[in-house]
Amino acid sequence: MKKLCVKDMLDAKSSRYALVIAVAKRAREITDDINLHGNTADEKPVNMAIKEFENGKFDIIENLAEDGKH
């Protein structure tokens, strides 16, 4: 498995925290989809989510209202 540089994966407006949360959420979606269809995966869902992010299949959208100011 190749080593990834977090700085290379982030753009200027995203944080490491946002990256971790986004990848974890996508990995859970992948796991749920695999379980729903009764399939098996050759690769771990987290690795699949990271590859999808690297390939631009999803972006990080941070919720600016999370700080309590609406």
pTM above 0.75, yes or no: no
Question: For 64, which DSSP code?
Answer: G
Task: Please provide the average confidence, as pLDDT, over all residues in the chain.
Answer: 80
| pLDDT over 50 at 70, yes or no | no
The residue whose two tokens read 């999808």 is 52
Task: Kindly state the average pLDDT of the residues 29-54.
Answer: 91
Domain membership flag for residue 44: yes
Domain containing 34 equals: 13-59
Q: In the structure, what pLDDT confidence band is assigned to residue 41 with cuts at 50, 70 and 90?
A: confident
| pLDDT over 80 at 13, yes or no | no
Residue type, 34: I
Question: For 56, which DSSP code?
Answer: T
Domain membership flag for residue 34: yes
Residue type, 65: A
Helices 16-37, 45-54: inter-axial angle, 10-degree rounding = 120
Of the chain, the percentage scoring pLDDT greater than 90 comes to: 31
Domain membership flag for residue 18: yes
pLDDT at 45: 94
